[in-house]
Amino acid sequence: MGNDQKSNAQQSVKSVVLKPTGQPLRCPKCGSTDIAEIVYDPPAMTEELLAQIQAKRAVVRVGAQKKHPPRYYCNYCGYEW
């Protein structure tokens, strides 16, 4: 991976999860903006996904157990919604 690609990947990993309005997503339980997206059954562990996991911006789960599984995970309090 070239330096430009690494720089772009690092910048995208460091960003917070945003609402469609552009505002940071907040945990409905504690109000934290330290939120990760839950990824169910990823087809492959890519470098980008690994970087997001290491930066606590993604959490991998195996098999969605519910009809509407949680989409987000709060890194501060552990709440999922």
pLDDT of 15 reads 59
- Asked whether residue 61 is assigned to any structural domain, the reply reads yes
- Asked whether residue 60 is assigned to any structural domain, the reply reads yes
- Asked whether residue 39 is assigned to any structural domain, the reply reads yes
Higher pLDDT, 66 or 32: 32
- Asked whether residue 79 is assigned to any structural domain, the reply reads no
- Asked whether residue 8 is assigned to any structural domain, the reply reads yes
pLDDT of 35 reads 95
pLDDT of 17 reads 77
- Asked whether residue 81 is assigned to any structural domain, the reply reads no
What confidence tens digit (pLDDT) does each residue in 5-62 have? Answer: 444 433 444 457 777 777 889 999 999 999 999 999 998 999 999 999 999 999 999 8
For 50, the domain range is: 3-74
- Asked whether residue 49 is assigned to any structural domain, the reply reads yes
Which phi-psi region, left, alpha or beta, contains residue 71 (left: φ > 0; alpha: ψ -120 to 50)?
alpha
pLDDT of 28 reads 96
Q: Quick check: pTM over 0.75?
A: no
Number of domains in the chain: 1
